[in-house]
């Protein structure tokens, strides 16, 4: 038997620091994305979307879209980036926490002296890194097409739109991690996340603005409008009212200003990140 000195014994029994726990969790969660192939599936989806856009634009050469570099980037990035960000949340955040309960992996990983906050943060960082890599690929394809049609003429608004998209990604992942913490079944967490970001938020935003005539400042997707709006030739007015006929009903459309959109996105991340972590800390593995 080999005798350990007191220093060696203390080192062996020492609990890893929170930063180390975050790094290890992030590493193995990121590797799990590769083993489960979800990273490659989502990358393939992004490449298919990029290829379809490239082929359609190259074949039909729509004059409106190719009338200016800003029009091109607005049409390519404005809608696609928001949709892809929602997919990132569904793929990487939908079951990030609920999977710990459904697969019972928490019994093993959290039975050791590992802080739940470190696990939560590590998983979130892994999801953000995986999403960012794929978003970089989509950005590169977008720039490649833009350079082909317009040379090195790059509107500064596109740079703002890319930064806003990454900022929106932070809030989307914060929200999906919160919803994942609500459930102990991955299928429920993924379903709720998909329905909310692909349909429900947009529908609620439309109903509130069109029928209640209220600004939907409390909806995350309302804040995400700044991604597409910043690529407009002239930023849309905050409030627009359209009346159908002399006695017709007046409909009001709202557009989040850039400061307002950034505040909404930041608020969603802060609130959902804190609530998600609190739920994860208190939930029992039963």
pLDDT at 112: 59
Q: β-strand 239-243 against 250-254: which pairing, if any? A: antiparallel
181 domain-assigned: yes
7 domain-assigned: no
Query: Do residues 135 and 215 make contact, with C-beta atoms less than 8 angstroms apart?
Result: no
Query: Do residues 273 and 174 make contact, with C-beta atoms less than 8 angstroms apart?
Result: yes
Q: Which residue has the tokens 């696990």?
A: 119
Domain count, the chain: 1
2 domain-assigned: no
Inter-CA distances, 87 with 46, 84, 130, 272, Å: 10, 5, 12, 18
Taking CB atoms within 8 Å and a gap of at least 24, the contacts of 18-22 are: 18/115, 18/117, 18/118, 21/114, 21/115, 21/118, 21/119, 21/122, 22/118, 22/121, 22/122, 22/125
What is the pTM assigned to this prediction?
A: 0.88
93 domain-assigned: yes
5 domain-assigned: no
9 domain-assigned: no
Range of the domain at 23: 16-282
239 domain-assigned: yes
pLDDT in tens, the chain (286 residues): 444 454 444 444 566 787 888 898 899 889 988 888 889 999 999 999 999 999 999 999 998 888 899 999 999 998 899 999 999 999 998 888 887 776 655 444 555 567 888 889 999 999 999 999 999 999 999 999 999 999 888 999 999 999 999 999 999 999 999 998 888 788 888 898 899 999 999 999 988 988 888 899 999 999 999 999 999 989 999 988 877 766 667 778 899 999 999 999 999 999 999 999 998 888 765 5
152 domain-assigned: yes
């Amino acid at each position: 038997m080999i005798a350990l000195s007191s220093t060696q014994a203390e080192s062996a029994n020492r609990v890893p620091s929170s930063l180390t726990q975050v790094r290890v969790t992030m590493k193995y969660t990121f590797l799990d994305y590769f083993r489960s192939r979800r990273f490659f599936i989502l990358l393939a989806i992004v490449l298919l979307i990029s290829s379809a856009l490239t082929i359609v634009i190259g074949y039909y050469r729509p004059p409106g879209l190719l009338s200016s570099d800003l029009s091109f980037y607005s049409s390519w990035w404005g809608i696609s980036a928001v949709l892809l960000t929602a997919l990132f949340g569904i793929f990487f955040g939908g079951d990030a926490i609920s999977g710990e309960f459904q697969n019972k992996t928490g019994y093993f990983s959290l039975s050791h002296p590992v802080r739940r906050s470190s696990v939560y943060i590590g998983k979130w960082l892994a999801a953000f890194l995986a999403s960012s890599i794929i978003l970089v690929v989509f950005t590169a394809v977008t720039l490649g097409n833009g350079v082909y049609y317009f040379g090195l003429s790059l509107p500064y608004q596109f740079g703002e739109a890319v930064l806003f998209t990454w900022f929106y990604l932070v809030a989307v992942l914060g929200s999906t991690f919160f919803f994942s913490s609500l459930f102990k079944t991955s299928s429920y967490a993924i379903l709720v996340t998909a329905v909310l970001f692909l349909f429900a938020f947009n529908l609620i935003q439309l109903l509130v603005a069109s029928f209640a005539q209220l600004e939907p400042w409390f909806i995350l997707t309302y804040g995400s409008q700044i991604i597409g709006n910043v690529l407009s030739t002239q930023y849309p007015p905050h409030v627009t009212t359209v009346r159908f006929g002399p006695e017709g009903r007046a409909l009001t459309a709202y557009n989040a200003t850039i400061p307002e959109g950034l505040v909404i996105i930041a608020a969603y991340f802060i609130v959902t990140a804190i609530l998600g972590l609190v739920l994860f800390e208190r939930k029992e593995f039963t």
